[in-house]
Amino acid sequence: MQLNISGAIRHEDWCFLCELQSHIQRAFDSVHPFAPTNILSHLPNIGGNLGFGRQEDAHEFMRFAIDKMQSACLDEFGGEKVVDHSTQETTVIQHIFGGRLQSQVQCTACGMVSNRYENMMDLTVEIHGDAESLEKCLDQFTAIEWLDGDNKYKCDGCNDYVKARKHLTVHQAPNILTITLKRFQSGRFGKLNKKVTFPTKLDLTPYMSTTDGTDQYDLYAVVVHLDMLNASFFGHYICYIKHYRGRWLKLDDCKV
């Protein structure tokens, strides 16, 4: 992939998108390990709470990195505050990672349907109960929720608080789908270490609001957190990458 970074993006002293492009090119050209020093030394520029030499969360870094690249693309046209939302969804970063979620609420009294849409750059799914597979976690993520009792829905059609059916689905699937399993236990420092299986081919159709049957994904990378003493706040990350010839490679710092 070759990105043409215009001079308009370089209004700052350091451009993460430019640096990442240089890093990827160097990785393709080199047969020896090297440290991404120019990126590591600018971690606070990528995310405000990131710091060199500290234990950081891989998913948090990815979100900061994507947001930073998206901002760099928008800066070319005056910045996020100037560019309207529809135009923001036309950047190369949005084209790669972007999708849309649909939250649909249907009144059980009058049948009125309300749809709300939210941009997504990745999916974060929780591991509830007996979920032992990614598909089961996605089932839970898109499970129907009933709004009733103290949580009734204010229906515009009925002009009253009523029982309603809420359904969260993926409305537009991204070209590159990133899914994070939320293994952090709420209010605790511990980590959910239960086994969760995942397929090498994922059909997103059952979790879509509308689909033409083409929302199929092939697994090509997995990031794994190796914890110490079942702790979520420190440990070590390794990565498994699928080679273009079909072999899986384990990346552990400078070791492949």
The answer to whether position 194 is within a domain reads no
Q: Residue 230: which of 183, 168, 186, 170 has the closest Cα?
A: 183
Which DSSP string corresponds to 91-118? SHHHHHH-EEEEEEEEETTT--EEEEEE
84-109 confidence digits (pLDDT tens): 777 778 889 999 999 999 999 999 99
47-74 confidence digits (pLDDT tens): 877 777 676 788 888 999 999 999 888 8
The answer to whether position 179 is within a domain reads no
The answer to whether position 36 is within a domain reads yes
Counting the structural domains of the chain, the total is: 1
Beta bridge partners of residue 154, listed in sequence order = 161
Per the structure, the complete domain to which residue 27 belongs is given by 1-97
Instruction: Between 218 and 83, name the one with better pLDDT.
Output: 218
Distance CA 119, CA 93 (A): 13
The answer to whether position 176 is within a domain reads no
What the block records as the tokens of 41 is 């030394």
138-195 confidence digits (pLDDT tens): 999 999 999 999 999 999 999 999 999 999 999 999 999 999 998 776 555 567 778 8
Per-residue pLDDT, 9: 46
Distance CA 46, CA 55 (A): 16
Which DSSP string corresponds to 131-166? --BHHHHHHHHT--EEE-GGG-EEETTTTEEE-EEE
**CA 50 from chain center: how many Å?**
18
Report the run of H or E that residue 67 belongs to, with start and end.
Answer: helix 58-75
CA within 13 Å, CB half, 96: 10
The answer to whether position 76 is within a domain reads yes
The answer to whether position 186 is within a domain reads no
Distance CA 142, CA 166 (A): 10
The answer to whether position 25 is within a domain reads yes
Residue 199: left if φ>0, alpha if ψ -120 to 50, beta else—which one?
Answer: beta
Name the pLDDT band for 11 (thresholds 50, 70, 90): very low
The answer to whether position 131 is within a domain reads no
Residue type at 62? M
